[in-house]
Every structure is written in structure tokens, then in C-alpha cells.
Structure 1
Amino acid sequence: LVSVFVLSPPSIKLLLDDPLVVNPGETITLVCVASGGDPPPTLIWVKPGGEELPKRCVVNGGTLTIPGVTVDDGGAYSCVASNNVGNPAKKSTTILVRGLRKGRFWITPDPYHNDDNIQIGREVKISCQVEATPPEELQFSWLKNGRPLRSSERMVITHTDTDISPGTTNLDIIDLKFTDFGTYTCVASLRNGGTPEISIDVNISSTTGQTPHQRRRTAV
């Protein structure tokens, strides 16, 4: 009798969603299993580009656990299988950690750089932009002097499509009146929560030109 040994290259599969969307502080587990290969392959987890895995990671074969995930832990992770037969097999996934950052605003016409104070009877636009992960969960709301503001004929609220550009909301005040003076607040949040809101206050008055106030607050 002649024994025939058939060697085969490795193959793997990932038992998780791609991308994997998580909240800051959660413990996440990435699972990779061998679906073929003789001899059985060895599984390791790596980050593309030679980056190091987070130091808090716990690796047990094809299982990678990251406790207390942070925004810095987001990105691509790859499972690599090798058994010295053929080329190693690799599958990758992306971790998206929910978060809001880099909130900014601008006013048109710009009283901060053009030395042009806000004037009665003119149109004034306040724009607010926030980077969000994941961008499709970003939502905005507006307040005037702490009260919810709804879109109307003279107060027109619009939002950009996050598929086309970074998340931006605009408040157009048509034919500015004295009664429109006050503090306007742009509030950015994520639909599924998991991270504090970002609020940016902009004061509109005949002397507008002071630095606005930005704050974070926990969503209610």
C-alpha cells in the first residue's frame, strides 16, 4: 500500500461584521477560524502597514480581544493563516469606533476676517461642520437662546449629504431683524448614541466678531 499525503494551502473566514461599529469603552472580540488547509494553519492577527496591535489586546489563536476600545483603536485588522503550503491566506475587517470630533463653524458674510459687522436686512448664514464616525449616523439640530429652532421661510435649515462631503449643516437667516439677534447653537450627535454630543454656540448681534464657544455634553 502506498500512502498519499495531499497538502493544501490555508483558507480562513471571519466570524464578525465588516465593518464592525462599536461604542467607545466596549470590549470587542474578533474571531478568525480556519476553513481549510492541510496541515492545519497557524492563525495570527496583524494591522496593515506594520502598525502594532493595541497593547491591551489579548490574542488567543484566531481570537483577538480588545478591552475598553478607544477611537485610536479604530482601523483595519487582518487575520493571516499560514501552513507553509502555497501562499498565506489573509482576510481583513475594519473597526469603526463611534465618535464626533473637529467641530467648526463659519459665518457668511464673515465678520471675523472682513471687519464687516452683521447688518439688519442682510442674509446671514451660519455653517457648522463636524467629523463623525460612522458618518451616516450624524445628525444635527439647532437652538436659538437654548430653545429648539425649526426651519421656516426666514430661518432655513439644510444639511449636506455625508456621502458627498463631511457632515455640514447650514442655518440661513433671511432678511436679518433685531429680533433675530441672539445665541444660535449647532448640536451634532450620532443617531445610535454611544458618544457625547458636540455643541457650538455662535452669537449673532450687531457686534458679532467674538470667539464662539464649543462644548461637549452627554446625550440625553
Structure 2
Amino acid sequence: MGVEETLRLLGATLLLLPGVLGGNWAVWYKPGYICAVRGSSVVLPCSYDYPDTYISYLGTYRYEVQTVMWCHNNRDCLGTSYVYHSGWGSISPEYRHRAEYLGDKQKICTLKINDIRTSDSGKYRFRFETSHPRDKVTGRNGVTLSVSELKIIMVPSRMNGAVREGDSVTLTCSTESCSPTQTELSWFKNGRPISHTQTPANTLRFNPVSYQDYGNYSCAVKYNINSSISQFTLDVKYAPKNTSVSISPSGEIVEGSSVTLTCSSNANPPVQNYTWFKTNGAAVWEKGSGQSFTITEISPGDSGQYYCEAQNKHGAHNSTAVTVDVQCLSSVAQGLPPLAWVGLGAAALTVTVLGVTVICVKRRKAKPGPEEEPQVAEENVYNNVLDPLPRQEQKHTMVDLDNELSYSTIHFQPKNPPSEPVDMSLVNDDATIYSEVMR
């Protein structure tokens, strides 16, 4: 065996001995098992070691790490796809832009994976390759990553998350296989972030719980809403609250109209019974049941104060009383404004004029009798019937049959001729005809 071959074998032997020429060939994972919450970021701590130099037949040379890589579920970390590769190796699409190498090419090989997915569960191994073509090492022990889902646990436990107002309740965001204490968490109610500075990040405490705490809760890894679990419903049971009465139609209530009172209340479970009451001083009368109470053809006797009682199995609550004030029709008429009275007067006058006009038209259509002269249209009729009395006792009678004046002369034929002639001097207007009739 030549000198050169002897030196080569000696160098190889020295490399296999621990502590010789600067270090061991090794990869360490601490810890070897890590649990992470889906959606969070996880760090896989890693370190490695190798000798500082190696001896060849040409001399002593320093080792230099040229390539580092991480692989998933690959025993020798040799393949076509990697979690991370510092050289020209292909990166798996599942880890592209998510895997981050925090180590170097000296002794640190820590890896960080962001936005952990359920599919990331498994064993991860680190491999490094040196400047010597045969000196390539894979840490086969690897580190095992377990991915867990968040869930909410309520204490004390209740079926379907139902609690009663006034109880003390704690919600804890946890996992089945690992603790998220080192993970920053956010809480949401009905999809909106809520603060929880009064408690540790993974708990919400309600002491006591209020009906306003009712809602859907979820927890998620901070800055990653996609990691939230399905919503947990905190079902707070409580007696009716905020009970009120509304009146329809609104405004003044007139005698003879129909009025409906409606009761509204907030309760869980919903209101089971509604009862209506009427009060007048200290007296109280039960008037009916149901969410709505209708009074048809309302009268002044229905005036008073009304309220409703809402009830479920957890209790009852009364509304504030509302006043029902029924206005009589006569009172409504007295309250009309002046313009309304003018309108009513005009309407009444119009009806009167139309009625008189119809009467006149009917009279004009009637035929004159055999002893009557035709009526003179469009003139008023004035008739003076003179009895055979002294002229100073004669009476003149005027009959107004229409707004338009018509005049006619009526002659009565006595059995004996009149003792005095008719005095026509009474006719003093061309538009007016006076007739004297003597018996």
C-alpha cells in the first residue's frame, strides 16, 4: 500500500471518530414532537454539526456546507419535491411562500411554516450537503408535526350551550391534542372581533352572563380568520324584557272607528302568553289575550289606559300603560277649523239651491188651468187678493217661489159684478205685475 492510499484511509477513519478534527456528523431536533393549531405558524427547531476539516492525500481541507434542504415524509430527503431547498431543488406547491428557512449554513437549521394546514401533519427531516462530494447527511430521526383544530369548551357544561341569565360562564378556546397557550388567539362574536383583555387569550368569562351575551362565538389564530372553528352558540335563556305597546292607527281616535293594540317583547324562549289589561285609577280589568288586541266600533266608554303582560317559562314582564282617548263625533265637529265650516256651509247652500230649482222646474212643466192665464217665465209672482173691504184694509201678499221672479195675474169671477173697478195704479214697475181680485 502506498503512502498516498494510507493517508486517505487515515483521514476517513478520523472523520468517523467523535470529536476528531472539530465535530460530529449529526442533526438534532428539539423537541422531536410539535403540535400546532391549524392556521397558526409553527417553528421546527433544528441544529446540526460536522467536522471542521477533512484530510485527503493532497492535504487538509475545511468543510463548507453548500446545500441545505427540508423534506416532508421522506426518509432520506431525496426526491423531486421539497419543503425548502437552498439550491435548484423543486419546492412543493403546497409549501411555496409558506416555508421559511431561519437557519444558516453553519450550525442552525430551524424551519418555520406559516398558515399551518391539516395536510402538514407528518415527519419533517433536514439534510445538508458539504463541499466533499461524498459527505452528505440526513437527520433521519426527524421532527413530528401534529395539526389540531381549535374548539370551544364551556364551563360549566350545558347541553346545546344553553345557560340562564345570571349564571357564571367561561368559554375556553382549546384543542384536543395540544395546548395553544403559545399561540395568539382572537375571539369573535357573530363574526365581529371582540376584546378579551380581562382574561387570558384563550378564555372568555361572563360573570354573570347577560341576555346581551347571547350570540355565536368563535376563536381563531390571530391575524388568520380562516383558522376559526365552526361557531359556538351561547344560548342565554331569559324572561321577557323591553315589553311595549303600539297603537294602530296612530293619531286621534274617533268614536266608531277600529283600534288595534300590539304587544312587543324580547324573550328567550319567545313569549308564550300575552294578556291585556285596562286600568282606570286603582281598578284593573283583564280585557283579552294574544299579541294583538282589537276594539271595533270604539266608543268613549273604551277610553282608559291599557298595558300588556308578556310571559314565558322564565318569568313575566309588563309594558308601560298607553292612553286610549276616544273623541266623540260632536267634539270632532266642534274642533273643525273655520275653513272646514265654510266648506260645509257652501255644500249645504248648494244642496238647498239645487232642491229649490228642481221644484221650480217641476212647477213650470205643469199646464195652466182653464181659468188661469199662462205664467210669465223668468219673473217673480206677486198676487194681491183684494177682499171687498175698504182699500185701506186691503192686504198685499207676496209669494217668493224661486230665486228668479215670475209674475202672473189671477182673476176670480164673482157672481155679482164688482162694485168698484180695479185700481191699476198699483202697477208701478214694468217688471212687476200686480193683480187685484175682488169678490
Aligned position for 2:242: 101
Deviations 1:110-151 (CA, angstroms, capped at 9, x unpaired): 3x2xxx4330x4322112323x1436246422112223333x
Separation (CA, whole Å) in 2 of partners of 1:190 and 1:175: 32
Residue 267 of structure 2 is aligned to residue 123 of structure 1: no
* Kept after mapping to 2: 8 A contact 1:185/1:201: yes
Find the residue that maps to 2:195 and give its secondary structure. Answer: coil
Separation (CA, whole Å) in 1 of partners of 2:253 and 2:221: 64
CA displacement at 1:172 relative to structure 2: 0.9
Query: Could you tell me which amino acid in structure 2 is paired with residue 181 of structure 1?
Result: S
Deviations 1:96-119 (CA, angstroms, capped at 9, x unpaired): 5536237341233x3x2xxx4330
CA displacement at 1:81 relative to structure 2: 5.9
Find the residue that maps to 1:50 and give its secondary structure. Answer: strand
Find the residue that maps to 2:319 and give its secondary structure. Answer: strand
Aligned position for 2:164: 22
Which runs of structure 2 are paired with 1:158-197 in the superposition (5 Å)? 158=290, 169-193=291-315, 197=317
* Kept after mapping to 1: 8 A contact 2:306/2:324: yes
Match of 2:277 among 136, 139, 143: 143
Distance 1:18-1:78 versus aligned 2 partners, 3 A rule: farther
CA displacement at 1:63 relative to structure 2: 4.1
Match of 1:90 among 229, 233, 236: 229
Aligned position for 1:166: none
* Kept after mapping to 1: 8 A contact 2:245/2:261: no
* Kept after mapping to 2: 8 A contact 1:184/1:204: yes
- Cα RMSD for the two superposed structures: 3.6
Deviations 1:25-54 (CA, angstroms, capped at 9, x unpaired): 4321224431235xx43464512433323x
Separation (CA, whole Å) in 1 of partners of 2:320 and 2:145: 62
Find the residue that maps to 2:298 and give its secondary structure. Answer: coil
Residue 128 of structure 2 is aligned to residue 6 of structure 1: no
Query: Could you tell me which amino acid in structure 2 is paired with residue 34 of structure 1?
Result: T
Separation (CA, whole Å) in 1 of partners of 2:272 and 2:233: 19
CA displacement at 1:207 relative to structure 2: 4.3
Query: Could you tell me which amino acid in structure 2 is paired with residue 126 of structure 1?
Result: L
CA displacement at 1:20 relative to structure 2: 3.9
Distance 1:21-1:207 versus aligned 2 partners, 3 A rule: farther
Aligned position for 1:69: 209
* Kept after mapping to 2: 8 A contact 1:77/1:93: yes
Structure (1 or 2) with the greater strand fraction: 1
Residue 188 of structure 2 is aligned to residue 50 of structure 1: no
Aligned position for 2:374: none
* Kept after mapping to 2: 8 A contact 1:10/1:41: no
Query: Could you tell me which amino acid in structure 1 is paired with residue 305 of structure 2?
Result: T
Find the residue that maps to 1:58 and give its secondary structure. Answer: coil
**TM-score, length-normalised on structure 1?**
0.59
* Kept after mapping to 2: 8 A contact 1:26/1:67: yes
* Kept after mapping to 2: 8 A contact 1:187/1:200: no
Identity of aligned residues (%): 21
Query: Could you tell me which amino acid in structure 2 is paired with residue 68 of structure 1?
Result: P
Structure 2: state its 5+ residue gaps: 1-138, 329-439
* Kept after mapping to 2: 8 A contact 1:184/1:201: yes
* Kept after mapping to 1: 8 A contact 2:247/2:262: yes
Larger relative contact order, structure 1 or 2 (CA cutoff 8 Å, min sep 6): 1
CA displacement at 1:3 relative to structure 2: 2.9
Aligned position for 2:176: 35
Aligned position for 1:216: none
Aligned position for 1:218: none
Structure (1 or 2) with the greater helix fraction: 2
Find the residue that maps to 1:35 and give its secondary structure. Answer: coil
* Kept after mapping to 1: 8 A contact 2:307/2:318: no
Structure 1: state its 5+ residue gaps: 151-156, 159-168, 209-220
Distance 1:198-1:93 versus aligned 2 partners, 3 A rule: farther
Separation (CA, whole Å) in 2 of partners of 1:9 and 1:107: 60
Separation (CA, whole Å) in 2 of partners of 1:183 and 1:22: 34
CA displacement at 1:92 relative to structure 2: 2.8
* Kept after mapping to 2: 8 A contact 1:143/1:149: yes
**TM-score, length-normalised on structure 2?**
0.33
